[in-house]
Structure 1
């Protein structure tokens, strides 16, 4: 046994010195050192460079699992669950996870609960069994506490328990749990809205480079009209989140550049970030780019390119469908052809208010019944704390990109009213007026 332990330590040293260590490690395994055997199997598993190595890992895990080693049982269950050495086999995965879980192996308890939650053991999710295993694992496994909090929040609607389990996971260092706590506090789920607590937990997650937390923290800074340099801090946080692939952060950076928050308008930078977000299938960025091409904002006007961008999201964006209908309508010299009508109906079905009004207008025009038209109701309340023209303008464009065209127009009018010399808002308002509703007769 002493020789096995010595060989195991020697193999570790050889690995650190970038020397061949497998021969020494295998000798330690053959002499009965469990750690050496499992380490060797782990090496083959992580290499994942050939079916032969994966099979070798499975053989080693199987040997130790048959002797009751809970770590080997855990790893063997993982191999079967994900089919890493052959076909996926949920029954065998459950079997080996259960053997390890019954020996209080926390990761196995979590993974067993996860299989029940996903419906991989039974034909549908079994939340009671998932909760049973998560409860056993949660003090040693942050992911179990996180998963338990998620079930508390989304299945049981028990926000107090969700908060308790998220806090447990967050205190074990889980960034996603800290982010979820921020959401609970920001939106007042189960308690009053508490922005200080929301910011605290977002910061905890952001410190671990959680991209969504960085974005939410940036959002709070962007809406902060009291703290000096809050907008600059928001921009820096968005940049960190964008560097981690967060498309919402990319979009927000584009919006800030287009509207000059916190510095000067920079269309080149706006296009760069909008395109990055659009490539990540971000609908608002897609609409923003289409709008810029439609009206020639920062780029030469290109209706063909605008239509291509709108078409990419028209299936799920009423705003895109409506804008396409307006462009087709204009190109047909005011005639509403079948294509424009179909798009208009799609937009109206999706809840686009202007599309609903236009369809009613068309019917009323045909029947000469103007009273048939339902008055548009615009619901918005400009934040009285927002003083600068660029911030109001940013909110106006964000609403447009989000599909809230009527709110966007109302906000633009608010900017023009408060800041008559602020040309970007006036120019955009004039641009939008070019395509303001279908013109019939």
Structure 2
């Protein structure tokens, strides 16, 4: 079915837009439009002056120029050179759209996307984008690709997403807003990924005075996109006057302050910036205000306030909020525990394209929380979430097939799912693949591949993979035997909180195999670290070191404490050692034979 509309049908379809015949602007108005563009961009001898540009756009718009109406409406929407004004933005953009202007339709769609002067309505946003795209708007074509890619306002359809991206990429670059080209090159949507091109178009957007230009430049410097990482430069862009009027830039600045990313950590100011973005009407700001209340950032934990602000964000169709609300209802935090209500939020999130909501529907279905327990449906939800980009869904599917719950055990399919998650950067899946190749679980055993995946996960900080790599180096399997390298990996894992890492390091120090020398002091320290993290074998070994004064002073009381800890966890060796130290010595049989009351003579 051809969804494209003829121009008369397009005009009649617009809510509140009267049909009007397009009238070419007069030469005077055309000149006003040209002069407006020059003042907006600062071309030639004309100095950039957005206020003067707004005056000239208004003059042209009042004379019936649809293009000028679109620019003026956008300026009222974004507060570029004139104050933000939802009513004026809606008036001028509807008037422009009524004349069949693609730019007017595109910006009118943005109002529905952002809830500026109207309730958020992603379906209307997508519909208006389609109309603008059919009239030749390259920006609308690109955004339609996003809508199909993420299921925003329409069905999720990767093939349609690719089609719209490719169609947009065929348009002359002069027909795009620079920011659209910036994200298309950054994401590889329609064009090959090109970080330098993305940076160049973001820089052009900032130079031309678009409100989102400084934010994008800040993000480029923060993330090293097309330019070396430079958090200080990012901070300078985020604090420019235009950026401080951009709610999304406020959120980006808050993220820097919350994490202490190359700036002094300031969670109080971060929380204040989130509130500022929320008060400006940005759903992402509302979400982060809720997140601060949920996690005690910039103030005490306040679950009722978290529920309130997540609900505000959800009412603006901000899909991140739905799964967070669902989990608060599931756990009964800030509200009465209610899995049925949680499921309703998850269904709403799924309807608006939240892959995490779809994943959680699988989890709730697998466990029978607010939904009938159904393994097949749970698997289907996980599959949908994975296909929509939720990496954890592939990892969960991998475990379902690995453990045979709630589907029959299938090691080959388990590996396929882990591989999808691993290829998307899920570290735990990379470790799981290493284990599968090491032990031939669902694949032909291949120690080289096992090491490759362990190395991949280890570089991302996975301590279990560090321990496995250490084991390969310690035993010289596939790699050259190198105890020093193994020790380094064990210590690195231990420093990240791995009790196994400390245990393995202790064993190497104790044996001295492949090291410069045996070191019982370092062994004792490593066993103490492992014991503190709950390693039962380390508790027993530390008890032995303390009992016998190995690697440090003898301490029977502390040895007893360590033996008792291990004994309480069921260790028989620890129990024997504890009883040996606490039982009274056996009575001499010869003394038992002496008559009562007879004095014991000292030996001669």
TM > 0.5 fold call: yes
Q: Name the counterpart of 1:112.
A: 325
> Is contact 2:431–2:457 with CA below 8 Å preserved after alignment?
yes
Corresponding pairs, count:
349
Between 273-282 and 347-356, report the one with greater CA deviation.
347-356
Q: Normalising to structure 2: TM-score of the pair?
A: 0.51
Distance 1:192 1:218 in 2: 23
SS of alignment partner, residue 106 of structure 1: coil
**How much has 1:233 moved relative to structure 2?**
0.3
**How much has 1:92 moved relative to structure 2?**
5.1
> Is contact 1:321–1:344 with CA below 8 Å preserved after alignment?
yes
**How much has 1:144 moved relative to structure 2?**
1.0
Q: Name the counterpart of 2:115.
A: none
Q: Name the counterpart of 1:138.
A: 350
Distance 2:480 2:400 in 1: 35
Pairing 1:331–2:541 present: no
Between 348-357 and 240-249, report the one with greater CA deviation.
348-357
Between 350-359 and 196-205, report the one with greater CA deviation.
350-359
1:231 alignment partner, one of 447, 453, 462:
447
Pairing 1:75–2:285 present: yes
Distance 1:360 1:180 in 2: 45
Distance 2:504 2:270 in 1: 50
1:345 alignment partner, one of 564, 586, 590:
564
Between 103-112 and 151-160, report the one with greater CA deviation.
151-160
> Is contact 2:326–2:343 with CA below 8 Å preserved after alignment?
yes
Taking a change above 3 Å as real, the CA distance of residues 59 and 295 of structure 1, as seen in their structure-2 partners, is closer
Return the structure number with greater relative CO, CA threshold 8 A, min gap 6. Answer: 1
Q: Name the counterpart of 2:435.
A: 219
**How much has 1:211 moved relative to structure 2?**
0.5
Alignment of 1:86-235 (within 5 A): 90-91=303-304, 93-99=306-312, 101-102=314-315, 105-122=318-335, 125-139=337-351, 140-153=353-366, 156=369, 159-224=375-440, 230-235=446-451
Q: Name the counterpart of 1:260.
A: 476
**How much has 1:185 moved relative to structure 2?**
1.2
Q: Name the counterpart of 1:42.
A: 248
> Is contact 1:77–1:94 with CA below 8 Å preserved after alignment?
no
**How much has 1:193 moved relative to structure 2?**
2.0
> Is contact 2:402–2:409 with CA below 8 Å preserved after alignment?
yes
Taking a change above 3 Å as real, the CA distance of residues 178 and 320 of structure 1, as seen in their structure-2 partners, is same
Distance 2:499 2:312 in 1: 47
Taking a change above 3 Å as real, the CA distance of residues 77 and 244 of structure 1, as seen in their structure-2 partners, is closer
Distance 2:276 2:579 in 1: 71
**How much has 1:351 moved relative to structure 2?**
1.9
Distance 2:538 2:273 in 1: 54
**How much has 1:213 moved relative to structure 2?**
0.0
Q: Name the counterpart of 1:321.
A: 539
1:2 alignment partner, one of 70, 91, 96:
70
Distance 1:22 1:80 in 2: 35
**How much has 1:85 moved relative to structure 2?**
10
Q: Name the counterpart of 1:410.
A: none
Listed as ranges, the gaps of 5+ residues in structure 1 are 27-35, 65-71, 369-441
Taking a change above 3 Å as real, the CA distance of residues 115 and 22 of structure 1, as seen in their structure-2 partners, is farther
Q: Normalising to structure 1: TM-score of the pair?
A: 0.67
Between 53-62 and 238-247, report the one with greater CA deviation.
53-62
Distance 2:359 2:201 in 1: 35
Distance 2:509 2:487 in 1: 11
Distance 1:209 1:246 in 2: 12
> Is contact 1:145–1:166 with CA below 8 Å preserved after alignment?
yes
Q: Name the counterpart of 2:203.
A: 17
> Is contact 1:253–1:273 with CA below 8 Å preserved after alignment?
yes
Higher gyration radius (CA)? 2
